[in-house]
C-alpha cells in the first residue's frame, strides 16, 4: 500500500513521551494501553510505537477497513523489495489497511511485531518467517486472541493448527529444476571426471535454503559423475556471494558449476569471477534462483546459464486469503505461486521487464 510521510510526527512522538513519562523502545509497550485506545487514534499512534518516530508512516484506508498486520524479514535484495511492494500495492487495491513491520533480518523483531499486531487486535496477521523454527509461542498467543495467521514466502516447522495456511514458492521444486538443467547441460559429457559443483546456500535455518538444497540433492546425488564439493551459506546477500567466491578461488579448486540459491549472491560471485580472470557462464556454469532483471540480463549476455524464477508477486493472493480469514473462512493449507524457468537456449526477446 502506498505510504505517505506522517504529518505531525514530532507532536505525536511528544505525546507518546508524555504518556509514558520518558521515551520508549518502539517495540515495547503495554497492551492495555493499546486496547484502551480508539482505533482511529491507534491508526496514527501504532506505527510510531512499532517503528519509532523516524520511520513512522501513515497508511490510508477506508473507514472500518480490514486491518492486516504484515511482518517482512527485511530489504536484503531487489527480490525482497519487490515482494514488499507487491503486498503494499495489493493491500491498496483491495482496500485493506496494512500495518507493515520490517524485521531487519532479526527473528526477535518479528516476534515483537506479531505481538504488537495482537495487542492492536488486527483482523489478520501475515508474516515472512526468517527461519523455520521458534514460532510456536507467539502463534499460540495469536490463536488465543482469535487472530488468524498466514505464513508467506517461507515455511515454518510448527503445529499446523497454529496458522491458517501458507502462500509462497515451492523451494524443493526450484532445487529439482536446477538439478534437471544441470543433467541436461552435461548430458553425454565425455569429461571423464566428476562435475564439481559449488553451492552458495541461503540463510541457515530458512525453509527456502533447506528446500532448495534438498530438492537439488534429491536429483543430483542419484546421478554418477556429479560432486557437490563445496556448500556454504551466503545469507542471500550479494556482498557475501562475492566474499565466498573470492575466498574459494584463492584455493584454486576446479569449479565446473555454481549453484546459487539466489541472484544477489550470484551477482556477487560473478564479480569475484571476473576479478580472477574467469568468464561467468563459460568457465563456470551458473544456475541461479529468483529471476531478477539483472540475472535475466546476464542470461541474455551468456554470463548465466539457467535462471529459475522465484515469484515475489504474492500480494494479491495474500489479500484474497486475508479477506476469507477475516470473515471466518478457511485457507488452503499450501498455495504455491506460479513460476517459470529460463534457460540459455531460450528466446527471451519478448520477455517483459521483471520489475525487480
The mean per-residue pLDDT over the stretch 62-67 comes to 80
Confidence of residue 189 (pLDDT cuts 50, 70, 90): confident
Of residues 187 and 24, more confidence is placed in: 187
| pLDDT at 57 exceeding the cut of 60 | no
Q: At what angle do helices 171-185 and 207-220 cross, to 10 degrees?
A: 40
Within 289-350, residue ranges assigned H as helices are: 293-300, 315-326
| pLDDT at 16 exceeding the cut of 80 | no
What percentage of residues in the chain have a pLDDT greater than 70? Answer: 81
Q: Which residues pair with 127 in a beta bridge?
A: 71, 151
DSSP string, 140-158: HHHHHTT--EEEEES---S
| pLDDT at 54 exceeding the cut of 50 | no
Confidence of residue 212 (pLDDT cuts 50, 70, 90): very high
pLDDT attached to residue 232: 98
Mean pLDDT of the chain: 86
Confidence of residue 159 (pLDDT cuts 50, 70, 90): very high
pLDDT attached to residue 63: 61
pLDDT attached to residue 65: 87
Q: Tell me, what DSSP letter sits at residue 352?
A: P
Confidence of residue 350 (pLDDT cuts 50, 70, 90): very high
Cα separation values, 346 from 21, 180, 285, Å: 64, 16, 16
Confidence of residue 188 (pLDDT cuts 50, 70, 90): confident
What is the enclosing helix (H) or strand (E) of 292?
A: none
pLDDT attached to residue 18: 32
Nearest to 169 by CA among 149, 151, 148: 151
Q: What is the pLDDT of residues 235-283, one digit of tens each?
A: 999 999 999 999 999 988 899 999 999 999 999 999 999 999 999 999 9
Nearest to 152 by CA among 164, 162, 139, 167: 167
What percentage of residues in the chain have a pLDDT greater than 90? Answer: 78
Q: What domains, with CATH codes, occur in the chain?
A: 4-168+312-337 (3.40.50.2300), 171-310 (3.40.50.2300)
Which residues, other chains included, contact 95 with Cβ-Cβ below 8 Å and sequence gap of 6+?
A: 61, 62, 65, 66
pLDDT attached to residue 191: 58
Place of cell 515454518: 156
Would strands 341-343 and 306-309 be described as parallel, antiparallel, or unpaired?
antiparallel
Q: What is the pLDDT of residues 313-329, one digit of tens each?
A: 999 999 999 999 999 99
Measured CA to CA, the distance from residue 136 to residue 114 in angstroms comes to 12
pLDDT attached to residue 190: 54
Q: What is the pLDDT of residues 82-133, one digit of tens each?
A: 999 999 999 999 999 999 999 999 999 999 999 999 999 999 999 999 999 9
Place of cell 584463492: 250
**CA angle centred on 37, ends 33 and 40, rounded to 5°:** 145
Amino acid at each position: 500500500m502506498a505510504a505517505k510521510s506522517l504529518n505531525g510526527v514530532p507532536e505525536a512522538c511528544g505525546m507518546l513521551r508524555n504518556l509514558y513519562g520518558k521515551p520508549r523502545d518502539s517495540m515495547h509497550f503495554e497492551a492495555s494501553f493499546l486496547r484502551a485506545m480508539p482505533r482511529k487514534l491507534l491508526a496514527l499512534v501504532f506505527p510510531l510505537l512499532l517503528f519509532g518516530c523516524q520511520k513512522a508512516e501513515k497508511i490510508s484506508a477506508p473507514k472500518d477497513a480490514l486491518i492486516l498486520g504484515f511482518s517482512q524479514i527485511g530489504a536484503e535484495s531487489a527480490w525482497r523489495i519487490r515482494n514488499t511492494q507487491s503486498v503494499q500495492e495489493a493491500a491498496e487495491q483491495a482496500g485493506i489497511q496494512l500495518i507493515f513491520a520490517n524485521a531487519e533480518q532479526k527473528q526477535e523483531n518479528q516476534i515483537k511485531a506479531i505481538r504488537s499486531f495482537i495487542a492492536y487486535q488486527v483482523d489478520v496477521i501475515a508474516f515472512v518467517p526468517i527461519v523455520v523454527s521458534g514460532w510456536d509461542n507467539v502463534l499460540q498467543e495469536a490463536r488465543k486472541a482469535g487472530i488468524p495467521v498466514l505464513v508467506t514466502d517461507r515455511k515454518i516447522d510448527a503445529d499446523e493448527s497454529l496458522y491458517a495456511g501458507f502462500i509462497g514458492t515451492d523451494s524443493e521444486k526450484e532445487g529439482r529444476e536446477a538439478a534437471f538443467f544441470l543433467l541436461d547441460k552435461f548430458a553425454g559429457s565425455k569429461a571423464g571426471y566428476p562435475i564439481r559443483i559449488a553451492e552458495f546456500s541461503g540463510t541457515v535455518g530458512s525453509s527456502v535454503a533447506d528446500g532448495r538444497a534438498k530438492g537439488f540433492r534429491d536429483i543430483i546425488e542419484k546421478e554418477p559423475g556429479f560432486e557437490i564439493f563445496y556448500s556454504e551459506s551466503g545469507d542471500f546477500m550479494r556482498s557475501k556471494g562475492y566474499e565466498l567466491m573470492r575466498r574459494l578461488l584463492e584455493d584454486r579448486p576446479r569449479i565446473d558449476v555454481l549453484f546459487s540459491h539466489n541472484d544477489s549472491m550470484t551477482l556477487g560471485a560473478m564479480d569475484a569471477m571476473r576479478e580472477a580472470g574467469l568468464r561467468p557462464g563459460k568457465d563456470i556454469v551458473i544456475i541461479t534462483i529468483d529471476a531478477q532483471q539483472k540475472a535475466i540480463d546476464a542470461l541474455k549476455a551468456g554470463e548465466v546459464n539457467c535462471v529459475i524464477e522465484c515469484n515475489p508477486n504474492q500480494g494479491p493472493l495474500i489479500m484474497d486469503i486475508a479477506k476469507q480469514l477475516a470473515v471466518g473462512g478457511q485457507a488452503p493449507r499450501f498455495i504455491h505461486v506460479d513460476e517459470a524457468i529460463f534457460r540459455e537456449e531460450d528466446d527471451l526477446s519478448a520477455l517483459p521487464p521483471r520489475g525487480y
